[in-house]
Structure 1
Amino acid sequence: MGEKTFSGQVALMSFFQFYGRNRLWAMRQVVKMPDRLRQQKGILFFKTLGTSGGLGCMGSLNFKQGALLTVWPSADDALDFYWNSNIMDDYRLKSSEDYSVLLRPVRSGKKWAGSDVFEPQAMLPEKYPIAILSRARSKLRLLLPFRLRMCGVSRSAKDCRGPLFSRGVGERPRIHESTFSIWESMEALKRYAYGEDNNHQVAVKASRKDNEFKEALYAAFQVTGHRGTIKGINPLDKIKTPSLL
């Protein structure tokens, strides 16, 4: 644990790798875990999520991996949940490995399921990595063209320097499509988002033109903590900024 925490709201995003019978346990938690999370003292928001590869691409659902997003009033509340809750203990017991990042929201636009989930805080002066969570609920008739464009975005991200980590996540990944990615810096993110030779701007412009989304959310975070591994790797292991986890 780090020497100090910071005031203001934080989010905790955790990924878990499951094998064998524990995959069935993980799938059941999509239904069962929300009741336990609602009873968790201090929790502001939560979602149990499925995952897919990269930045979201049709046909790449990952049934061996799940994710849990929780939002807390402070870093102390999030750290208490991470270290001391029975919920996290159960996930660790059933998973072969886990990877968590502590997120300080610095930018947020639009809503998730009608709720203003994230309260942006002032940017910390240290050059922490930047995480991006974007969520789009697509109109059913436009779902296929949207997902085909997402495949192009995922391929261009692989060709671009960064991200350090990326996953497609969602409650219903085929319809409620979300992406979570971590970048070394805001500059690296901007090079990808606004560079000339990638599919990101093309996908964004086409989606806006077609009015594809019933609901969309975009949030940016400073990654103030990271711990664990996923597939044997900590994607931020070489990052030198302090970690609260």
Structure 2
Amino acid sequence: MSQITTITFFRYTTFFNKVWAFGMMQFAHSPLKKVNGLQDYKLMGSGKDGFDPFADWSVYALLQIWENEEAANNFFATSNLMKRYLERTEQRYTLFLKNTKSRGFWSGKNPFVESDTFSQNNPFIAVITRATIKIGSLNKFWKYVPTSQRPLAGNNGLIYTKGIGEVPFLQMATFSIWKDEESLKQFAYKSKEHARAIVKTKELDWYSEELFSRFQPFKSIGKWKGIDNLPF
């Protein structure tokens, strides 16, 4: 059985639960380090809609990289840590992913291993992009973000997107789900704004580290507005 990745989104509605979720960005490390079959993980907050760098205090994300699907299933079924999260959340959604392509580095390494099992009848693509922005480039980078993200508005091929990250403004990632490969290519290669962003990245050397990774989503647990209709 090959490596899989899961990403779990949690939504909180009350003030006290939002404070608890913020605290777990620190306190969840200890139990996560003891989980059997868990190769790596990232605890992340999220930004407001539209890839806004300012925090969305209601949504947090947990990215986990597993030795195999069995280890992931066992965690979500029996973990006391997950039970604690679910007692506080208004909504939870976990998406299971098989890596199809990955390049770059995240915290000094590329943690994703390409899967050897894919479904030919599953056209959906999930994408994670992550970057550490150089402190001297923060102002120029965030000033250009609204322009580079403009083609996402009303994009029929985009099912869902959310800005996530470990450190606001500095260590940022995007998670997105697309209907198929052609939809992703239309945005990545045929959007003038996005193409210009790629050129600027090379010209201005914004990042000290970056990673781009594609996945095939194949299974889900829970509900989340915008992703509920995926046929898993």
Q: TM-score range by the shorter chain?
A: over 0.9
Counterpart of 1:113 (choices 83, 107, 110) is 107
Question: Which residue does 2:205 correspond to in 1?
Answer: 211
Q: Is the 8 A contact 1:14 1:99 kept in 2?
A: yes
Counterpart check, 1:48 vs 2:40:
no
Runs of 4+ in 1 over 3 A off after TM superposition: none
Counterpart check, 1:170 vs 2:165:
yes
- Distance across 2 between alignment mates of 1:82 and 1:98: 12
Quick one: structure 1 residues 119 and 55, their matched pair in 2 at CA, closer, same or farther if it must change by over 3 Å? farther
Q: Is the 8 A contact 2:98 2:217 kept in 1?
A: yes
- Distance across 2 between alignment mates of 1:100 and 1:107: 21
TM-score, structure 1 length as denominator? 0.89
Which deviations, in whole Å up to 9, do the C-alpha atoms of 1:10-63 show, x marking residues without a partner?
11100001122100100000111011100111110001100013462344x201
Letter in 1 for 2:156: R
Question: Which residue does 2:67 correspond to in 1?
Answer: 73
Counterpart of 2:137 (choices 139, 142, 161) is 142
- Distance across 1 between alignment mates of 2:220 and 2:58: 21
SS in 2 for 1:199: helix
- Distance across 1 between alignment mates of 2:143 and 2:163: 14
- Unaligned residue ranges in structure 2 (runs of 5+): none
Question: Which residue does 2:96 correspond to in 1?
Answer: 102
Q: Is the 8 A contact 2:157 2:180 kept in 1?
A: no
Question: Which residue does 2:227 correspond to in 1?
Answer: 235
Letter in 2 for 1:218: F
Counterpart check, 1:152 vs 2:177:
no
Deviation at 1:212, TM superposition (A): 1.0
Counterpart check, 1:182 vs 2:177:
yes
Q: Is the 8 A contact 2:159 2:226 kept in 1?
A: no
Question: Which residue does 1:3 correspond to in 2?
Answer: none
Which deviations, in whole Å up to 9, do the C-alpha atoms of 1:180-237 show, x marking residues without a partner?
10111111111111124x421111110111111100011100001123223xx25141
Which deviations, in whole Å up to 9, do the C-alpha atoms of 1:54-94 show, x marking residues without a partner?
462344x2011101011101111112112221121111111
Counterparts of 1:51-66 in structure 2 under 5 Å? 51-54=46-49, 56-59=51-54, 61-66=55-60
Q: Is the 8 A contact 2:126 2:178 kept in 1?
A: yes
- Unaligned residue ranges in structure 1 (runs of 5+): 1-6
Q: Is the 8 A contact 1:131 1:222 kept in 2?
A: yes
Q: Percent identity?
A: 24
Deviation at 1:107, TM superposition (A): 0.5
Question: Which residue does 1:192 correspond to in 2?
Answer: 187
- Distance across 1 between alignment mates of 2:50 and 2:212: 14
Question: Which residue does 1:85 correspond to in 2?
Answer: 79
Letter in 1 for 2:140: P
Which deviations, in whole Å up to 9, do the C-alpha atoms of 1:104-157 show, x marking residues without a partner?
011010111012210012443222411000001011111121122222233221
Deviates further, 136-145 or 154-163: 154-163
- Distance across 1 between alignment mates of 2:184 and 2:71: 29
Question: Which residue does 1:224 correspond to in 2?
Answer: 218
Q: Is the 8 A contact 2:123 2:181 kept in 1?
A: no
Q: Is the 8 A contact 1:56 1:177 kept in 2?
A: no
Question: Higher strand proportion, which one?
Answer: 2
- Distance across 2 between alignment mates of 1:128 and 1:83: 28
